Structure 1
Amino acid sequence: MSIDSIKIPTHISSLSIVEKHIDSLCQNLSVAERCYGNVLIAVTEAVNNAIIHGNKNDESKEVTLNYYTEKKSLVFQIKDEGNGFDYENLPDPTDPVNIEKLHGRGVFLMKNLADDVAFEENGKSVTLSFHNFDND
């Protein structure tokens, strides 16, 4: 298993770098159409959270995106340089009290779009796994 990695500047415009990288990677790996959208949205949400919440838009920090394939899974690990967060006690974005809030859906989306989501390092790192991602 070889792990590829890119460093992403802490700036919201960096999301376009991530999107282009995912497009290229998914094309090279022949990621199935049914899986592509889930990968794109979940990974960009994780990077967005790392930029805004993890690194707090501090441009002296970076976000690291590692990715690899393992058996029939496509795996992404997103790490920021922040202090982490309490990922086990997040408000439910589907609760009527939270439904109109502009933020707070990223982790919910990741959990609903990826097959596996694992937080590590006190929430500074998230691993997203997508199983059976190809057309076989």
Structure 2
Amino acid sequence: MSREIGCQIEVISDRPDWIELRVPCDLNAVEPIQKFLSHLHEHIPIETRESVGAVFRELLNNAIEHGGKCDPSKRVEIKFIHLKRAILYSIKDPGEGFNIEEIEHAAFANPPDQPTKHMEKRQQLGLRPGGFGIMLASQVIDELVYNEKRNELIFVKYIDEQPQI
């Protein structure tokens, strides 16, 4: 059974260990979702919580902007799953997917001698500042997996503490 909460966020599942949402492809939806999900990480050290939150925000922004083309009539599906020793996020956008070799507007594509080249490309394309999602994820997250189409990802962060659910 689903229900809608503010900003047309549809709640599919709201168990403490399994949250599932459908959100409009609207960048204004990112902050309230991130704030809500950050409360589920209160038992995790603050540094880990903040870094995982930053990765989630960047990857959700990517899904909304590139996969959903910022079209609020389209939806991104989000899952947050809390395991005993890990947290897992799944983000699926309505887009056609992407080819990582063709992305020039992301920081990981910068030549070593041009660390800000992607910023120029983003400005040329009229994109928001950013482009750090995949690079940040590779530095913070323990596992990051895409489906074949590359319009859905799962990322995992292992945690040392037992959850207080």
TM-score over 0.5 (shorter chain)? yes
Q: Does 1:99 align with 2:116?
A: yes
Deviations 1:57-95 (A, max 9, x none): 111111111011234110000111111011355453452
What does 1:25-44 correspond to in 2, within 5 Å? Answer: 25-27=40-42, 30-44=43-57
- Preserved contact between residue 67 and residue 93 of structure 2 (Cα < 8 Å): yes
How many residues of Structure 1 are paired with residues of Structure 2 in the alignment?
134
Q: How big is the alpha-carbon RMSD for the aligned residues of Structure 1 and Structure 2?
A: 2.3
Q: Does 1:114 align with 2:141?
A: yes
Identity of aligned pairs, percent?
A: 22
Shift of 1:47: 0.4
Distance 1:100 1:89, change over 3 A: closer
Q: TM-score normalised to the size of structure 2? A: 0.71
Structure 1 stretches lacking a partner, 5+ long: none
Distance 1:25 1:3 in 2: 10
Distance 1:98 1:55, change over 3 A: farther
- The residue type equivalent to 2:51 in the other structure is N
Q: Which has the higher contact order (CA 8 A, sep 6+)?
A: 1
Q: TM-score normalised to the size of structure 1? A: 0.85
Deviates more, 1:55-64 or 1:100-109: 100-109
- Preserved contact between residue 51 and residue 140 of structure 2 (Cα < 8 Å): yes
Distance 1:83 1:25, change over 3 A: same
Distance 2:93 2:160 in 1: 26
- Preserved contact between residue 93 and residue 105 of structure 1 (Cα < 8 Å): no
Larger Rg, first or second structure (1 or 2): 2
Structure 2 stretches lacking a partner, 5+ long: 1-16, 120-129
